[in-house]
């Protein structure tokens, strides 16, 4: 074999060797990929300086599929005004093609007169999901007694949800309230229909509560997850304390490569809800920036984190 043929044949063999495993990886990825598009919503909490039309425009321009609207005290929609204001927000969003798909509420109990009003209005305006308010543990009761009380309340809400064709969800949130750890939510919802009520799994709070064990918690709660909250953080530590600091998606300490691998392994295709919970502007900018400048900043940050999430996916 002369030198020219050797180089030619060697190059061809190398190309075939490289292509074979690549083809296998691609086929495997296709087989395990979700069968449907995974939608991305975002939480409106940090954008309450925007009116309904502006909010919808920012979400649309950022490439999102829907809005997770604050329908709670101090939110974009006050619960007492839900029949008047939620349709306005929903119409503004629909015009932009980013419907109000989900909402964050103060709902805890079917016996609260606002509960039925909020759920009926939401259902009438195409809202598919809502987040419950947090339950506090009553110290005079044992944990087991508390869980039984909470289970009863959530079961009752589940039946009301079925009536209005809406899904309730409880977020795991680090701290001492019920649901600080996903295992607590699992104990309550494990025998419930997740189309009525389930878990809105929050990766940040799961990692904060279980730095070395969040993967196990995710695997346990996965069958009951109806929405996935996504955000990032890092610790600010002193000798005596460590604070959780939320930050730009992908810039913190959450191992998203591992997280997405587990989601893929478990065939999780629930919608993502992107939470931006770090400041859009500092105190000085809050005073000095015009509304137009704040709008521009909000759009830049929302689009940046949305693009990051899509690249991760």
Residue 255 in domain = yes
Residue 29 in domain = no
Give me the number of domains the chain comprises.
1
What pLDDT, in 10s, does the model give residues 206-218?
999 999 999 999 9
Tell me which residue range forms the domain holding 190. Answer: 38-312
Distance, C-alpha 218 to centroid of its chain: 14
Which CATH number does the domain housing residue 213 bear? 3.20.20.150
Residue 23 in domain = no
Q: What is the pTM of this model?
A: 0.86
Residue 26 in domain = no
Residue 157 in domain = yes
Q: What is the pLDDT of residue 35?
A: 56
**3 pLDDT above the threshold of 50:** no
As a three-state string, the secondary structure of 165-193 is CCEEEEECCCCCCCCCCHHHHHHHHCCCC
Q: What is the pLDDT of residue 24?
A: 37
313: its two tokens: 């996916």
Residue 284 in domain = yes
Task: Say how many C-beta atoms besides its own lie within 10 A of residue 199's C-beta.
Answer: 25
What pLDDT, in 10s, does the model give residues 71-95?
999 999 999 999 999 999 999 999 9
What pLDDT, in 10s, does the model give residues 147-187?
999 999 999 999 999 999 999 999 999 999 999 999 999 99
Euclidean distance between CA atoms 104 and 148, whole angstroms: 24
Q: What is the pLDDT of residue 31?
A: 46
Per the prediction, the chain carries an average pLDDT of 90
Euclidean distance between CA atoms 120 and 99, whole angstroms: 17
Residue 19 in domain = no
Around 141, how many Cα atoms within 13 Å sit in the side-chain half-sphere?
11
What pLDDT, in 10s, does the model give residues 181-229?
999 999 999 999 999 999 999 999 999 999 999 999 999 999 999 999 9
Residue 291 in domain = yes
Q: What CA–CA distances, in Å, run from 282 to 96, 106, 234, 288, 289?
A: 29, 29, 19, 10, 10
Q: What CA–CA distances, in Å, run from 273 to 71, 170, 219?
A: 16, 14, 19
Report residue 131: phi and psi, to 5°: -100, 135
């Amino acid at each position: 074999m002369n030198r020219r043929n050797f180089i030619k044949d060697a190059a061809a063999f190398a190309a075939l060797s490289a292509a074979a495993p690549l083809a296998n990886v691609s086929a495997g990825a296709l087989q395990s990929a979700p069968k449907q598009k995974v939608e991305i919503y975002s939480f409106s909490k940090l954008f309450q300086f925007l009116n309904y039309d502006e909010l919808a425009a920012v979400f649309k321009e950022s490439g999102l599929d829907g809005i997770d609207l604050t329908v709670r005290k101090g939110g974009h929609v006050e619960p007492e005004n839900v029949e008047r204001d939620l349709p306005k927000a929903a119409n503004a969003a629909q015009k932009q093609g980013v419907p109000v798909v989900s909402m964050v509420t103060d709902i805890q109990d079917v016996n609260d007169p606002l509960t039925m009003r909020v759920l009926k209005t939401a259902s009438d305006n195409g809202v598919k999901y809502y987040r419950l308010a947090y339950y506090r543990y009553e110290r005079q009761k044992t944990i087991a007694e508390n869980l039984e009380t909470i289970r009863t309340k959530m079961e009752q809400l589940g039946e009301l949800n079925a009536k209005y064709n809406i899904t309730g969800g409880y977020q795991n949130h680090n701290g001492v309230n019920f649901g600080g750890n996903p295992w607590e939510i699992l104990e309550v919802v494990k025998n419930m229909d997740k189309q009525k009520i389930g878990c809105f799994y929050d990766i940040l709070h799961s990692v904060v509560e279980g730095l070395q064990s969040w993967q196990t918690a995710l695997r346990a709660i996965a069958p009951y997850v109806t929405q996935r909250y996504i955000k990032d953080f890092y610790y600010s530590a002193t000798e005596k304390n460590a604070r959780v600091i939320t930050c730009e998606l992908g810039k913190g300490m959450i191992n998203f490569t591992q997280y997405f691998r587990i989601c893929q392994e478990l065939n999780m295709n629930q919608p993502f809800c992107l939470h931006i919970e770090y400041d859009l502007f500092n105190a000085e900018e809050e005073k000095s920036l015009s509304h137009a400048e704040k709008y521009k900043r909000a759009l830049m940050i929302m689009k940046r984190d949305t693009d990051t999430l899509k690249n991760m996916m």
